[in-house]
Amino acid sequence: MRRGGHALAAVAGLAAAIPVYYLTDAAARALRGGTVAFAPAPAALAYVAGVAVLIRVLTVWPVAALACGVPLTAAGALFALDLDAAVGVAATLPWARAGGLPWPTGPAPWAAPGEPPGTLAGTTGLYALTGAFLVLSALLPARRRSILGG
């Protein structure tokens, strides 16, 4: 990949970190709502599927996977090491006052008002797990990536 391709992949990876962050949080909140209601959570499946598709696309380009995985891993580490600081940072993110999601949620029971976006996904380790997967996929030798890619 040429230098311009690396820059484009890095920008794509950084841009993908935003939807991965919010979709992962939405999935965690929908799962919590399903657990609390003791009911199925089909929205959670849709959000997890969206995250899986984005991750699969990112793993094709190691630079994009790194550019998305490193911030997610850092967010996961911050939630694991200093929860108060992580919640404070999450409260400064866009849509923090709108229930934590960039799309309207209506009266959804899992959109807890006052809970900054990413709090549930961060405290459960989903960001650390997702970010670590992306970073490790980028660090695999090229011959292993081709086996994983089909």
pTM value > 0.85? no
Integer angstrom CA distances of residue 103 from 11, 24, 66, 106, 113: 23, 14, 27, 9, 14
pLDDT per residue, tens digit, the chain (150 aa), is 566 788 999 999 999 999 999 999 989 988 988 888 899 989 999 999 999 999 999 998 999 999 999 999 999 999 999 999 998 898 888 766 655 555 555 544 445 666 788 888 999 999 999 999 999 999 877 665 554 454
Identify the burial level of 42 via C-beta atoms within 10 angstroms of its C-beta, where 0-12 means exposed, 13-18 middle and 19 or more buried. Answer: exposed
